[in-house]
Structure 1
């Protein structure tokens, strides 16, 4: 748990809240599943479940197989355990992002906490579920906290840097914060997203995992565009 001003949200929970429209519960932004995968890896790294391979920094080793007690993180950890340790970060990102239940598992975890609610939808023969907010305070506090870091000079911790990096790369900052403020603090946001204000090795690994999510998403898009042309 992150604790404090994040109201005990994980990185992935915070990212999921930013990726959902408050009233409708529809997803917004780009490459959301990749961002969520990066969030999960980053959280597992910071919790000591995963670690960069000392000899091969682009690979992750699974160093603790015990469950976390968090529904979504344990779902992700089980996928990584099936894949086996020592894989490239981008490989793990893709394995998580391509799971059809990935976002649903995170949303349902937030439903269990009373932050979101389920809203069944249907059209002709199609049925799906959206996840509007049930509790508006939790995300409001998250946004207030991140705004203070990006715009008011508050010092970030590792989890702040990860979620800001992912939100920036998945076009979610502009969906959740004032665009003029984002433009005015572009340089600072870039510093935060790159982890330039942090020093811990675990933090660097978490930032790398977040960036790997973006690289994986970009690669998929580029390949698809090339194939289509």
Structure 2
């Protein structure tokens, strides 16, 4: 009886081996429960190719040239030293050049850092603007990292600045969770305008089919990211009936650097703008200068004013100096929330980016700014002097960077490092944020 059972078992094994050996070289074989990768030329017993390893990879090293790429983009190679197959995603490999070009903190984290109370570790309960602004900062950061841009379509000039469509020009992940989440969503969705994306990410829609586009718990996720970077720490505070996690400041040097960038643009005694004065700490740590430094500093100023967190950076100033700085920030936002940017700066082409495809068919700047650049009281062109509504604030001379010098610095970065459609996307987001008071 035992011999009959063993004979049947041997017959079953033999039949399995025979059927496997009769299979073609393209048969798919599952080695075990964890192996779901088809073996193109593999032996069913070992799951490896019967071809000598030297013929598969003459160099004897694992290379994507000899590996197979899956539908998801991962690459499977053969490690000669261990005899194992190795799978990796080439998109996960660090790009040292890109890491050096980007600062340690994203634009969203800088805005949140300005809004947080240093000791208490939470935002003002009365701030209704920061959530909407943070969604706009996500789009600006993606544009600064060359991931998105305005669609390269000549017909876009028929539409207002904020109604122009956005394209994903580089789908590579950034390593920042919020940015990657937004980038994946934009890649997998239909093409939409700048204003639509900011609204949908903020949950400002009546379309129940698009509720899933909302990015949730953005402030808390940004705060946890700053905790991971060692800038904040986590504590629990009791608020009457419940406990709430707070994030007091742990590293004051990072916030001081953000404050310096804002104050340089608003309270500097010189109207000139030097790129070397911005992001010096990030440039020294990475060994190479941060890309688009003046553009980043300008976006930081405009977004902090829009998010209503600029007051925290100006508390040490006198009342008149603080009001003057607020008016300066308002004027800068109004100037650069157009395309071309800074139309009153006197630059060739009508402003930053005006050299190519800056004007509409009628020859007028394509902008949705409600009132456009305001003229001076005496009818002359206003170039970087701030608003003339508060004459007393400017009795001692202009302070802060002038619009003209900012425009020159941005135009230089656009010519050397940037892309006109990328800057147009930034201008469109700033235009949305400049009209936020009328939207909320």
For this structure pair, what is the TM-score category when the shorter chain's length is used for normalisation? 0.7 to 0.9
Q: Report if the CA contact (8 A) 2:148-2:169 is conserved.
A: yes
Residue 117 (structure 2) aligns with: 21
Q: How far apart are 1:166 and its partner, in Å?
A: 1.5
Answering whether residue 173 of structure 2 is matched by residue 67 of structure 1, we say: yes
Residue 427 of structure 2 is aligned with which of 199, 207, 221?
207
More helix by share: 1
CA change 1:3–1:10 in 2 (3 A) is farther
Q: Deviations over 1:182-213 (max 9, x none)?
A: 43345643453233223332334213213324
CA change 1:30–1:109 in 2 (3 A) is same
**Secondary structure of 2:323's partner?**
helix
Q: How far apart are 1:30 and its partner, in Å?
A: 3.5
**Which is bigger in relative contact order (C-alpha 8 A, separation at least 6)?**
1
State the 4+ residue runs in structure 1 displaced beyond 6 angstroms. 1-4
Residue 131 (structure 2) aligns with: 33
Distance 2:251 2:259 in 1: 14
Residue 12 (structure 2) aligns with: none
Residue 42 (structure 1) aligns with: 140
Which TM-score applies when normalising by structure 2?
0.45
Residue 227 (structure 1) aligns with: none
Deviates more, 1:148-157 or 1:38-47: 148-157
**Number of corresponding residues:** 218
CA change 1:2–1:89 in 2 (3 A) is farther
- Give matches, 1:99-138, under 5 Å: 99-123=215-239, 126-138=242-254
CA change 1:47–1:85 in 2 (3 A) is farther
Q: Deviations over 1:40-90 (max 9, x none)?
A: 1101011111111233352211122211012332233234345x1521112
Distance 1:170 1:86 in 2: 27
What RMSD over aligned residues (CA atoms) do the two structures have, in Å? 2.8
Residue 12 (structure 1) aligns with: 108
Q: Report if the CA contact (8 A) 1:61-1:85 is conserved.
A: no
CA change 1:161–1:100 in 2 (3 A) is same
* Higher gyration radius (CA): 2
Residue 93 (structure 1) aligns with: 198
Which TM-score applies when normalising by structure 1?
0.81
Q: Structure 1: state its 5+ residue gaps.
A: 222-229
Distance 1:93 1:64 in 2: 20
Distance 1:145 1:135 in 2: 17
Q: Structure 2: state its 5+ residue gaps.
A: 1-97, 204-214, 276-293, 337-341, 343-406, 415-419
CA change 1:216–1:65 in 2 (3 A) is farther
Distance 1:102 1:87 in 2: 21
Q: How far apart are 1:95 and its partner, in Å?
A: 2.6
CA change 1:154–1:204 in 2 (3 A) is farther
Q: How far apart are 1:139 and its partner, in Å?
A: 0.5
Distance 2:272 2:105 in 1: 19
CA change 1:146–1:36 in 2 (3 A) is same
Answering whether residue 309 of structure 2 is matched by residue 172 of structure 1, we say: yes
